[in-house]
Every structure is written in C-alpha cells, then in structure tokens.
C-alpha cells in the first residue's frame, strides 16, 4: 500500500474452518498510536477525555464556539432522528455570513430541500469525514475495504499534521477532494449527537460516508492563538443543531 497517511485497507477472510481472520494495514505519522488510529478508522469504540475551556464572558473576542443564526431561513431546533432515511444531497462547511464572507458553519442538505445546520464557528477544523469503499470477493469468503479519513479543513501551518479534504488558501497547493453528494445519492442511516460531538453516516450500497466530531478525535489547534480547539464549559453540540429552509444564513 502506498505511504498515504489518510488511507487504510483491511481484508476480512472466512477460512474453510470458519475461523475469522482480520488483516489491517494502516499508515501512521511519527508519534501516532497505530491501535488508536485503527479504532478510529474502523469506527470502533474509543474513549476520549472530556476537556473544556472557561468562557471569558468579559472579552469581546470570546463569543463562544457557536454562532447565533438569525433570519427567516431558520425553522428551529432539529428533531433528534429527523435526518435518518433522508438522502444527503449537498454539504458545505462555509455557511454563514457577516457581510464579507463565511464564518465556517457546516450544513447538510436533505432531499434537495431543508438543511441540517451545525452553527459551530470554523467547523471544518472540528469535523472528520471518512469515506469507505467495500469490495466483496466473488467467492463470498472475503471482502476488502478502502478507507480514507481526513479532517475537513485546516490552516496551512498545520497541514503537515492534518491532511484535509479541502484546502483553498492563496499561495498554497489546492486540495479539492470533497465529493458532490448530489451525485453520490447516499441515504443517511445514522445520526447521533452528544454534548461533545456527533456522527452522521450516509451510504449508497457499499459506499459509505461518515462525518464525525468528538473529544476522542484529534483536532488542530487554533492557528491564531495557538490554543487548543476546545468547546467551552456548558456548550453542547447536541443542543446546537438546527433545521433551516436553505443554506443562506445570517449570523
């Protein structure tokens, strides 16, 4: 397998004696824990230490992790299981406007209509996207899966540690690997939220896409302050999701 930090492959084989054998190949960066990365790539149970920062309410710069979305586009808080069974038809991590540009909120369009919105400022540095492609063998005794797992986006000074799906900074090599979900025709099969994060998983046959955020997933630090990327005490991802008519959000 090529030396690609974001990709892994595994083979599951059933032998004539019905013994199950799992072979996994995963490439790690220096200092990475191979077992922890394998658990993350395969979406196996993991543990993450909950860390929170103290919100400085006296600072004009510390407005919390979430943006207040206004306007007629907003329908209201999103029902917990509303997305499941709906087709994922679009995605953007550049929603929200303050007059001259986006504030980096993430949104998922369902059935070419309403949008699920996570009003998390600069959300691309918090969220991982995993692409799984499964290929069963003709003898039905084995299958192979190719998995590509990356952060959605990252500042140029941390691209050496986090390979992104998108990178559009002037003066740097462009990366534009995000799929067109309108073409993927994937249906949302799993949507789970917690205080610390969420999982949204969509599939079309043997192709699967999984968005995930949580304390168990590594995150780049903030490029400006060099501080850890942490939610503030009392903030909850589960309570932040909202439903909107469209992706034109006033912040």
Average pLDDT, the chain: 86
Q: For 227-238, write each residue's pLDDT tens digit.
A: 999 999 999 999
Share of residues in the chain with pLDDT > 70 (%): 86
The predicted structure's pLDDT at residue 146: 87
Pick 68 or 138 by higher pLDDT. 68
Q: For 144-192, write each residue's pLDDT tens digit.
A: 888 899 999 999 999 988 999 999 898 899 999 999 999 999 999 999 9
- With 80 as the cut, is the pLDDT of residue 141 above it? no
- With 50 as the cut, is the pLDDT of residue 1 above it? no
Closest CA relative to residue 126, chosen from 240, 241, 212, 39: 212
Q: Residue 23, exposed/middle/buried by CB under 10 A (0-12, 13-18, 19+)?
A: exposed
The predicted structure's pLDDT at residue 77: 95
End-to-end CA distance of the chain: 45
How would residue 2 be classed by pLDDT, with cut points 50, 70 and 90?
very low
Q: For 94-122, write each residue's pLDDT tens digit.
A: 999 744 457 899 999 999 999 999 999 99
- With 70 as the cut, is the pLDDT of residue 28 above it? no
Share of residues in the chain with pLDDT > 90 (%): 58
């Amino acid at each position: 397998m090529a030396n690609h930090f974001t990709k892994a492959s595994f083979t599951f084989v059933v032998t004539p004696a019905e013994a199950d054998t799992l072979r996994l190949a995963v490439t790690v960066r220096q200092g990475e824990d191979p077992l922890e990365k394998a658990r993350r790539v395969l979406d196996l149970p993991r543990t993450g230490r909950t860390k929170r920062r103290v919100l400085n309410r006296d600072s004009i710069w510390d407005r919390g992790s979430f943006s207040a979305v206004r306007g007629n586009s907003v329908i209201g808080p999103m029902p917990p299981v509303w997305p499941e069974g709906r087709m994922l038809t679009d995605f953007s991590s550049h929603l929200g406007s303050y007059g001259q540009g986006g504030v980096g909120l993430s949104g998922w369009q369902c059935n070419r209509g309403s949008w699920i919105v996570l009003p998390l400022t600069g959300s691309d540095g918090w969220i991982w996207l995993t692409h799984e492609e499964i290929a069963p063998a003709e003898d039905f005794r084995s299958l192979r899966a190719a998995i590509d797992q990356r952060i959605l986006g990252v500042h140029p000074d941390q691209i050496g540690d986090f390979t992104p799906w998108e990178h559009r900074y002037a003066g740097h090599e462009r990366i534009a690997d995000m799929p067109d979900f309108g073409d993927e025709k994937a249906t949302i099969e799993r949507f789970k939220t917690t205080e610390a994060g969420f999982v949204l998983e969509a599939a079309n046959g043997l192709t699967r896409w999984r968005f995930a955020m949580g304390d168990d997933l590594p995150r780049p630090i903030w490029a400006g302050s060099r501080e850890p990327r942490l939610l503030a005490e009392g903030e909850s991802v589960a309570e932040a999701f909202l439903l909107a008519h469209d992706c034109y959000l006033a912040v």
